[in-house]
């Protein structure tokens, strides 16, 4: 009996973690995957450290919040630029100078805070702290390059990236807050050490690095502009052929004769070929990016509103536990989601997970106790990572492969800008109406974000029913 129970547990563990273990057993993958997570530590640690350190030396929460917002906005502006540069020139060529800029900025910021420099100087330095290479996007680009046409492998790899991302936030936030209370210098030093170690692990692994547009163009004897034009044309032809095939199948299922079937296929092909061929900005990508803006806005607004709610209930000391529950639940969701080979269409999974997160956080408005919010977080957190994973997968359908990093960067940028806007808007309403006013903003933003996502329903549904653009041979 005990043996059967042990075997059953072993089978469940293998189902959940076996696929991830297979990915990490691929030569060199563990090195870049873990390295990207370590190098990403500025994302959770810098904002927290900057806030605590500034408040300690200047005694001003307003200044700390303003500096954090400036850094977030600078990151949102810079991230797509770095993503585009990575796609064009390669990961190492862009990452190394970017890391140097960040190191100089971090050293300058700490020195100026310790010297109690004029806040204007801090405002000038903080934007350069956003000079962080898009490690997450670059890691995902490596996974999609390695997996090729393996849909299940891509799904599991993106899920594994989501697991690592959640682990980074689970570790980064409490680590930063603990170290920053001891010493802001210590916290920044640990962050810088993480950047160096992670960057060395990631950038010294050459075999898994996808070729840049410059490399591919050089191999083809073309300029980058000519190469991108050829690539866009290939993607357009592939979408058109897929649309014709889908139309042919539908027409046959309706019992039409051969002439009508061929006519339907030609019309579908012509419609697909009539679209733009240069820009990655279609209705689907716009809908996803604006949705990610809303996602960042209402989740950021929820965070500050929960702090206000807990403060009003004299339970502020428990807020960290509440947020930790959300992160742990999200981590579990990423593990479980990536363990299954999904047959449900991507667009359905995207909208279901998005609706659960949006409506769940929107329901905070009706919570009467902090523990109710914690329970809601535990429930909906399971869909948080799958929502991001699905969004990442949509990029494979909505943009060409060699512009995947750029598409991911736009998603991250919109999310960061949304987070800054959400906190600012919620803060105004909290000052006027307490935490209830903040939760009203959260609910409104969550519903608007979901509505915007539905506006792109047709494009998202259609794009996910065609072959993934990674199947185009460069």
The pLDDT value recorded for residue 99 is 94
Would the pLDDT of 14 be above 70? Answer: no
Q: Judge contact between 125 and 46, C-beta under 8 A.
A: no
CA distance 464 to 154: 14
Count of residues in the chain:
474
Write out the two tokens for 117.
């420099």
Comparing CA positions, the residue from 335, 237, 306, 333 lying closest to residue 277 is 237
The pLDDT value recorded for residue 474 is 27
Q: Could you read off the pLDDT of 278-306 as tens digits, one per residue?
A: 456 767 777 888 888 888 888 777 877 88
Residue with the larger pLDDT of the pair 16 and 395: 395
| Whole-angstrom Cα Rg for the chain | 23
Q: Judge contact between 36 and 135, C-beta under 8 A.
A: yes
Write out the two tokens for 16.
């959940």
- H or E stretch at 84: helix 61-89
CA distance 406 to 94: 13
What b/e string do you get for 355-390 counting C-beta neighbours within 10 Å, with b at 16 or more?
A: bbbbebbbbbbebeebeebbebbbebbbbbbbbbbb
CA distance 129 to 99: 10
Count how many Cα atoms sit within 13 Å of the Cα of residue 125 in the half-sphere of its side chain: 19
For 87-91, 346-350, 409-413, which range has the lowest pLDDT when averaged over its residues? 409-413
Q: Could you read off the pLDDT of 232-271 as tens digits, one per residue?
A: 777 777 767 767 776 787 777 777 788 888 888 888 777 7
The pLDDT value recorded for residue 276 is 45
Cα 223 from chain centroid?
31
Would the pLDDT of 103 be above 70? Answer: yes
Q: Judge contact between 83 and 410, C-beta under 8 A.
A: yes
The pLDDT value recorded for residue 102 is 93
CA distance 399 to 232: 9
Scanning the structure block, which residue is given the tokens 């106790």? 369
Would the pLDDT of 471 be above 60? Answer: no
Would the pLDDT of 121 be above 90? Answer: yes
Write out the two tokens for 190.
């640990």
Q: For residue 260, what are the contacts with CB-CB under 8 A and spacing of at least 6? A: 251
Q: For residue 247, what are the contacts with CB-CB under 8 A and spacing of at least 6? A: 264, 265, 267, 268, 269
Write out the two tokens for 147.
């997996």
CA distance 393 to 467: 12
CA distance 125 to 142: 32
Scanning the structure block, which residue is given the tokens 């840049």? 212
The pLDDT value recorded for residue 5 is 52
Q: Judge contact between 298 and 442, C-beta under 8 A.
A: yes
Q: Judge contact between 103 and 195, C-beta under 8 A.
A: yes
Cα 177 from chain centroid?
23
Q: Judge contact between 30 and 161, C-beta under 8 A.
A: no
For 319-323, 348-352, 370-374, 398-402, which range has the lowest pLDDT when averaged over its residues? 398-402
Scanning the structure block, which residue is given the tokens 């073309």? 222
Write out the two tokens for 133.
């290479």
CA 400, 403, 408, 414 dihedral sign is negative
Q: Judge contact between 133 and 82, C-beta under 8 A.
A: yes
CA distance 196 to 218: 31
Residue range 151-166: mean pLDDT, rounded = 75
Comparing CA positions, the residue from 412, 335, 332 lying closest to residue 23 is 335
What are the contacts of 217-223 at 24+ separation with CB within 8 A? none
The pLDDT value recorded for residue 449 is 85
CA distance 134 to 237: 30
Q: Judge contact between 442 and 365, C-beta under 8 A.
A: yes
DSSP single-letter state for residue 466: S
User: Angle formed by the axes of helices 384-398 and 319-339, to 10°?
Assistant: 50
pLDDT band at 173 (very low <50, low <70, confident <90, very high): low
């Amino acid at each position: 009996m005990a043996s059967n129970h042990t075997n059953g547990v072993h089978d469940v563990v293998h189902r959940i973690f076996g696929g991830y273990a297979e990915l990490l057993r691929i030569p060199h993958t563990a090195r870049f995957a873990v390295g990207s997570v370590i190098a990403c530590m500025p994302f959770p640690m810098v904002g927290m450290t900057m806030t605590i350190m500034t408040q300690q030396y200047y005694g001003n929460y307003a200044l700390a919040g303003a500096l954090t917002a400036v850094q977030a906005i600078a990151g949102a502006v810079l991230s797509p630029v770095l993503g585009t540069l990575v796609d064009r020139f390669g990961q190492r060529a862009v990452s190394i100078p970017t890391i140097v800029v960040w190191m100089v900025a971090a050293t300058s910021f700490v020195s100026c805070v310790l010297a109690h420099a004029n806040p204007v100087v801090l405002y000038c330095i903080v934007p350069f702290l956003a000079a962080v290479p898009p490690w997450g996007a670059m890691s995902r680009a490596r996974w999609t390059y390695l997996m090729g046409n393996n849909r299940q492998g891509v799904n599991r790899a993106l899920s594994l990236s989501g697991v690592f991302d959640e682990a980074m936030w689970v570790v980064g936030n409490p680590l930063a807050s603990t170290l920053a209370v001891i010493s802001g210098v210590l916290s920044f030093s640990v962050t810088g050490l993480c950047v160096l170690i992670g960057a060395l692990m990631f950038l010294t692994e050459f075999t898994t690095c996808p070729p840049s547009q410059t490399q591919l163009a050089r191999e083809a004897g073309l300029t980058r502009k000519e190469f991108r034009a050829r690539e866009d044309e290939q993607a357009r032809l592939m979408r058109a052929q897929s649309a014709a095939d889908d139309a042919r199948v539908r027409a046959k299922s309706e019992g039409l004769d051969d002439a009508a079937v061929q006519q339907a296929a030609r019309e579908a092909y012509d419609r697909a070929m009539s679209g733009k061929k240069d820009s990655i900005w279609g209705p689907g990508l716009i809908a996803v990016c604006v949705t990610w803006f809303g996602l960042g806005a209402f989740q950021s607004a929820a965070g500050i509103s929960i702090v206000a709610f807990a403060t009003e209930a004299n339970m502020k000391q428990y807020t960290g536990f509440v947020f930790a529950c959300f992160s742990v639940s999200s981590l579990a969701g990423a593990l479980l989601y990536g363990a299954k080979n999904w047959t449900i269409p991507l667009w359905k999974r995207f909208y279901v997970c998005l609706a659960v997160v949006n409506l769940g956080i929107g329901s905070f408005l009706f919570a009467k106790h902090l523990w109710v919010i914690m329970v809601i977080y535990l429930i909906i957190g399971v869909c948080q990572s799958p929502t991001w994973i699905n969004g990442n997968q949509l990029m494979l359908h909505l943009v060409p492969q060699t512009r995947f990093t750029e598409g991911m960067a736009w998603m991250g940028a919109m999310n960061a800008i949304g987070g800054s806007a959400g906190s600012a808007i919620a803060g105004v309403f909290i000052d006027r109406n307490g935490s209830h006013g903040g939760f009203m903003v959260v609910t409104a933003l969550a519903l608007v974000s979901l509505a915007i996502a539905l506006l792109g329903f047709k494009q998202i549904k259609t794009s996910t029913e065609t072959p993934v653009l990674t199947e185009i041979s460069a």
